[in-house]
Amino acid sequence: MAKRKKQDFQLSGPIHLAAVDWENFDHRASIAASLVQGVGVKERDRQDHRLDSNALAPPWWEFFKFQLFLVLNDKNDQSVFACIYKLQHNHRSHPSAPNYVVAFRGTIKKPDTIFQDLKLDIQATFNRLEKSSRFRLGMKAVEDIVAEAGAENVWLAGHSLGSAIALLIGRNMVKRGFLLQTYLFNPPYISLPLELIKNKKFKFAVRYAKSHITARIATVSGRRPETIPGSPEDPFTVLSKWIPNLFVNPSDPVCCEYIGYFEHVQHMVMAGAGEIGSFAARNSILSVILDMFGKNSETFHHIPSAHVIKNRSPSENLKEAHGIHQWLRLNQLFLQHKLYKL
Q: Would you give per-residue pLDDT tens digits along the chain (342 residues)? A: 677 889 999 999 999 999 999 999 999 999 999 999 999 999 999 999 999 999 999 999 999 999 999 999 999 999 999 999 999 977 666 888 999 999 999 999 999 999 999 999 999 988 889 999 999 999 999 999 999 999 999 999 999 999 999 999 999 999 999 999 999 999 999 887 878 888 777 777 777 677 666 666 666 555 554 444 455 556 778 898 999 999 999 999 999 999 988 887 766 656 555 555 565 566 655 555 555 555 555 677 889 899 999 999 999 999 999 999 999 999 899 999 999 987
What's the pLDDT at 302? 85
Question: SS3 of 19, please?
Answer: coil
**Confidence at residue 226, expressed as pLDDT on a 0 to 100 scale:** 44
| pLDDT at residue 20, rounded to an integer | 93
- From the list 258, 253, 251, the residue with the least C-alpha distance to 305 is 258
Q: How many angstroms separate the most distant Cα atoms in the chain?
A: 62
325 three-state secondary structure = helix
End-to-end CA separation in angstroms for the chain = 45
Nearest of 232, 338, 224 to residue 282 by alpha carbon: 224
For residue 48, count CB atoms less than 10 angstroms from its CB and return exposed for 0-12, middle for 13-18, buried for 19 or more. middle
The confidence score (pLDDT) of residue 228 equals: 44
Q: Report pLDDT for 117.
A: 95
Strands 100-104 and 305-311: unpaired
Q: Is 102 left (phi over 0), alpha (psi -120 to 50) or beta?
A: beta
- C-alpha to C-alpha distance for 69 and 79, rounded to whole angstroms: 17
Residue length of the chain? 342
> What pTM, to 2 d.p., does this model score?
0.89
Share of the chain above pLDDT 90, in %: 65
Question: So what's the pLDDT on residue 293?
Answer: 55
Contact (CB, 8 A) for 47 and 113: yes
The 3-state DSSP class for residue 185 equals strand
Strand partners, 100: 86, 154
299: left (phi over 0), alpha (psi -120 to 50) or beta: beta
* CA distance linking residue 250 with residue 338, whole number of Å: 14
